[in-house]
Structure 1
Amino acid sequence: MSSCLKLTFIILLVLLCLLSSSFSSSASPPNSTEESETLRPQKEIQKLKLIRKQLQMINKPAVKTIQSSDGDTIDCVPSHHQPAFDHPSLHGQKPMDPPEMPKGYDQENESHEDFQLWSLSGESCPEGTIPIRRTTEHDMLRASSVRRFGRKIRRVRRDSSSNGHEHAVGYVSGSQYYGAKASMNVWTPRVISQYEFSLSQIWVIAGSFADDLNTIEAGWQVSPELYGDTNPRFFTYWTSDAYQATGCYNLLCSGFVQTNNRIAIGAAISPVSSYKGGQFDISLLIWKDPKHGHWWLQFGSGTLVGYWPVSLFTHLREHGNMVQFGGEIVNTRPSGSHTSTQMGSGHFAGEGFGKASYVRNLQMVDWDNTLVPISNLRVLADHPNCYDIRGGVNRVWGNYFYYGGPGKNSKCS
């Protein structure tokens, strides 16, 4: 072969290699793009299927539907069809009759039950039904995790701010507690991130702050992720395994049994307190029925909301070993510094009545189903430069404390 032909042959081989390389490199991205376009809709389809399956479990068929002025839809669901009775230990049951009230309970000066926006128009659910705030696809799509929708992030210790949870609480421990009662004023604290919340509540706690923690919780909260707005809302919560796999807010899983046809758990509260203005508080009582062992929740002047069945729990089958009252926020440290999400009114405890948040008339239920004053209340703030707490006792309010704060400030960064 002549040198000229050899050169031509080599050039052809090089060109063929270049063309082959160019083809494979240009062909590769479209293939990977096609795969990605195929996978992406598939993931979304699976997510929507999961959401709709959960919505079917949460949203039960209603006999009446009420539209609230704040955009909520309230479904009146037959009480024996509520989500609670999907729980394996509650299948086939019906709501229990009202229990014996704790001795020493005084209904005077308690708050009135018409405290929710949806019912202010005079609407109510028929007897034999309960009002349930309808959960929507939008609610679940806002959640950081569809599978954990309606659940708290695990809280490791009473005095811990792990996972960004920060507290300012009054608490008692070291004895046997069969319930607790308090009144707390309601505010609209600023919550700056969808994934943060601000609340005020009562905790009844048993077990250790490890995998076996049992809690029963009720109060008010502002949670944009859960509700899609910044209204303070009445809520309940429970867990029997330290927030891992059991329990949820309100009626978003099987567990809490509602008996009241006029209060919607998770619905917006109205009116609310104002700075240097009128103060509105809600009174809550949680106690263990001596006869059947269930933990009942009462709001205001004798209005029973429902109960947590004793079968949900391990340690709380007997009694609580700690009770807490007060505030909690989630701090996601936006922009690398402490959140400006407010606790309570957004003002420190030292500002006092009409300016700071309070919890008053703190009481316990003892082994004899009797309401008694708290004698050994301790107070604790995880980060007092951000949110603080100050306790006191007087003749009108009994045991009380002021708490809260603005979050980020010159001393809290």
Structure 2
Amino acid sequence: MQERFLSSSRGDQETKLRPREMYPGLGLQSNRSFANAHLTEDSDTTIQHWAIYKSRYEDWQSYFGLEATLAVYSHPDISLNQTTSAIVWVVYGQGGPADQFNAIHVGWTVNPQLYADTRARFFTFWTADGFQNKGCYDLRCEGFHLLNGAVIAPGDVIDPVSTGKGTTSDITFRIFKDETSGDWWLYYGQEDNNISPVGYFPKTLFGGLAESSTGIDFGGYVDFEKGGVGPPMGNGRYPGEDDAAYFKGVQYISRHGEGYLPTQLRDYVNNKDCYQVGNFDFGKFYYGGPSGCTN
């Protein structure tokens, strides 16, 4: 398949990263790595909440990819200063020097400030220097190589989406490090269709992530301005309620491209009064919570 390399052909210019373009959810905060953001308090202006599963972070542990199927929802009532997402984070260097932190983020998001609408978007993000200068969302800078004929491009609208009334629309994607080239490839499919290649992040973009990842996390994320209220996470229902949002078919990808069920995961929820994550059972879990959170 022929490669199509894009940076500004969709009208986007390569610019120095502004805070909102650094990490889906960091909002107007100062630069901060994903690993540190898990452990820090909210900024003066933004509240953040996670309901996710985290992999083991060990010096000797290496990860090479993940595949998952996610239910997707749009949120027409979300406000300009709210973001809601379901994300896979592929990271390297958490806990180390900030400028050596590498990450790739993939998932769906409703982010009116970034996309100027309230539709669900398939998005990617990458950084090679801890959210300082190297990296961007989607195709907004040189980095991700999009293939000609790809079924979707990062930043595109996902259609159809789930209705929340028993009709569910899923997407499946795989992000993995190719054993031969060393590049991080992205595959995508919808409604149980076979996944197909979208493109890749060249290994030359990264430092440590050029060799492997030291952590892969996944789940729900929201942010909103202090003084406001939180948006729905997932489809606005808690795990255990009918038709709650989910990840399913979750499997790590080995160095040789083989799938295997994650083990030794730990859940991370920083405000269970607002958002929750259910048990991880055979590659599936439910997550989410309603709008209205104020802390």
TM-score range, shorter chain: 0.7 to 0.9
The runs of at least 4 consecutive aligned structure 1 residues that moved more than 6 Å come to none
Q: TM-score, normalised by structure 2?
A: 0.83
The structure whose residues are more often helix, as a share, is 1
Instruction: Rate the CA distance shift 1:191–1:223 in 2: closer, same or farther, 3 A.
Output: farther
Partner residue, 1:118: none
Superposed displacement of residue 205, structure 1? 0.8
Q: State the structure with bigger RCO (CA 8 A, min sep 6), 1 or 2.
A: 2
Q: Does structure 2 retain, via aligned residues, the 8 Å contact 1:240–1:247?
A: yes
Alignment of 1:6-405 (within 5 A): 82-83=6-7, 133-135=10-12, 148=18, 150-152=21-23, 153=26, 154-156=31-33, 157=36, 158-160=38-40, 162-163=42-43, 164-173=47-56, 174=58, 175-189=61-75, 192-209=78-95, 210-261=98-149, 262-300=151-189, 301-333=194-226, 336-337=227-228, 339-352=229-242, 354=243, 356-393=244-281, 398-405=282-289
SS state of the match for residue 392, structure 1? coil
Aligned AA (2:263): S
Distance (Å, rounded) in 2 between the aligned partners of 1:236 and 1:365: 19
Distance (Å, rounded) in 1 between the aligned partners of 2:258 and 2:158: 29
Q: Does structure 2 retain, via aligned residues, the 8 Å contact 1:260–1:304?
A: no
Distance (Å, rounded) in 1 between the aligned partners of 2:219 and 2:201: 21
Stretches of structure 2 lacking an aligned partner (at least 5 in a row)? none
Q: Does structure 2 retain, via aligned residues, the 8 Å contact 1:133–1:264?
A: no
The structure whose residues are more often strand, as a share, is 2
Structure 1 or 2, whichever has the larger Rg, is 1
- The alignment's C-alpha RMSD in Å is 2.5
Instruction: Rate the CA distance shift 1:299–1:195 in 2: closer, same or farther, 3 A.
Output: same
Distance (Å, rounded) in 2 between the aligned partners of 1:204 and 1:248: 15
Q: Greater CA deviation, 262-271 or 198-207?
A: 262-271
SS state of the match for residue 311, structure 1? helix
Distance (Å, rounded) in 2 between the aligned partners of 1:80 and 1:346: 37
Is 2:285 the partner of 1:408?
Answer: no
Stretches of structure 1 lacking an aligned partner (at least 5 in a row)? 1-77, 85-131
Aligned AA (2:48): H
Count of aligned residue pairs for this structure pair: 271
Q: TM-score, normalised by structure 1?
A: 0.61
- Percent sequence identity over aligned pairs: 33
